[in-house]
Structure 1
């Protein structure tokens, strides 16, 4: 008798589960029209809220970028331009080196730099490494007063653009090495602003996605900066193809190719 009673109870339990909307196969798959009728009005009602949220996020990102590129005026007034620029570079997880020193101060020894801060008062800042940082046009304002900067690394900086390069003219008499490798916003217009750097000896312009006709750009750079070694761009015939219109005289293209061949013969082998 126990077995039939268990079967009866099991049958009743199964019928209750089938009747329950949660476990019913029909209710577990709501109609597509019902689901669409609920989701679309929901998204429509909150579209403007989402747009405002995205706009707020964009403004917050811009504010944070501007905040991190702010000048350290108190340090500048108390210790001078060189130490203020050094603190700014270290806060952006970069590196600095002073004149007469071989050791670089970076994020791992930033605390020791704070201890040695007074010892470097009056010592010119000779090298600054901002590679991979978020330095921007405003942030470069912390460096424009440096009188002895020789080495500047701006490689892989996403906010460095043509306007930033236009601020480097103040280092025309001192800057000897400059790296712009991997800067996605640098174009040939910004590279044209580098003609003021008369003391430049080495320029790294490798991996610049926004610069077309790289072989021709190298020719222009070597023409502007004859004393400078331009690295990162090769003389390839494919890169010397100009995107010109069909009605433009082909003689200009042949002239540029001839100039490229002449420059290629003068290139010093690595």
Structure 2
């Protein structure tokens, strides 16, 4: 005995892989069910990817807020202990290292001991900072601009150090002698041009800068801008000229040059 038609509508639909549609248990493919299934699938994909994009923007916004908070100004520490202690505290909190004059390096895992014995560092200036790989941005760099006797600064592989950050380094012009920008992905020729204030630099490392499009030309320009500085990290001949074997040629070979008619500037036309 066949099942009533009303009962068949209560049976859940099943995907028919062979006929690319939905069918019920009776074996009959229903176009309405197939169309409804496609709409449901498209709606699900639309909602799903919308949520993924929303979550991505949410986490990105949270990450930027965290970065902004971590790069805040240490005004209270500076007012209480001075700019050198505030700058050292900022670097140690970000995982870097600092060196006070005539003292050993203080690493990030020693910052608690540093805070406990801060009194012995209070009257000693910071002469070197290693912020390699630290999440320092434009705002956070302001915590280092008051280090009047800073001689060496390493910003290697800092992901948020860009051209705007380099434009803020001019307060360190009187003391800074060594600067490393190796591996910073956001530094380009425009930022390096801002270093013309640092005339006391003795060594500048600009190796592995992917945003620099013309390394050889940049090397020459920086050396002319800082004549007393040793610029390392780029090959001065890279990208300046190409040899005959490196010149681009057409796949079919060199293009033949047609002879010119006597007294004419136009090539001869083939008859």
TM-score class, shorter: 0.7 to 0.9
Change (3 A) 1:37 1:235: same
Q: Where does residue 94 of structure 1 map in the other structure?
A: 96
Partner deviation per Cα, 1:98-145 (whole Å, 9 max, x = no partner): 1122x1111232222122211111211111111011100000011111
User: In the alignment, what sits opposite 1:77?
Assistant: 79
Q: What's the TM-score once normalised by structure 1's chain length?
A: 0.74
Report the TM-score when normalising by structure 2.
0.74
Residues in 1 aligned to 2:194 and 2:221: alpha-carbon distance in whole angstroms: 12
Deviation readout 1:54-85 (Å, 9 max, x if unpaired): 22222111101101111222211110110000
**Cα distance in structure 2, aligned partners of 1:121 and 1:212:** 44
The answer on whether the counterparts of 2:152 and 2:178 sit within 8 Å (CA) in structure 1 is: yes
Q: Deviations over 1:166-212 (max 9, x none)?
A: 00111111000000000010000100000100110000000001102
Larger Rg: 2
In structure 2, do the counterparts of structure 1 residues 44 and 97 end up closer, same or farther at CA, with 3 Å as the change threshold? Answer: same
Kept in 1, the 8 Å contact 2:15–2:21? The answer is no
Is the CA contact (8 Å cut-off) linking 1:213 and 1:241 kept in structure 2? no
| CA distance 1:27–1:72, shift in 2 (3 Å) | same
- Structure 1 gap ranges (5+): 1-20, 243-270
C-alpha contact 1:218 1:230 (8 A) present in aligned 2:
yes
Aligned to 1:239: 239
The unaligned stretches of length 5 or more in structure 2 are 1-10, 23-36, 243-271
Q: CA deviation at 1:37?
A: 4.5
Q: Contact (CA 8 Å) 2:101, 2:127: kept in 1 or not?
A: yes
The answer for the alignment partner of 2:133 in structure 1 is 132
Q: Does 1:217 align with 2:218?
A: yes
Q: Secondary structure, in 3 states, of the residue corresponding to 2:161?
A: coil
Aligned to 2:108: 107
For residues 129 and 96 of structure 2, the distance between their equivalents in structure 1, rounded to whole angstroms, comes to: 8
Residue 216 of structure 1, CA deviation: 1.0
**What whole-Å deviation, never above 9, does each CA across 1:10-37 have from its counterpart, x for those lacking one?**
xxxxxxxxxxx9xxxx879697545755
Q: CA RMSD in A?
A: 2.3
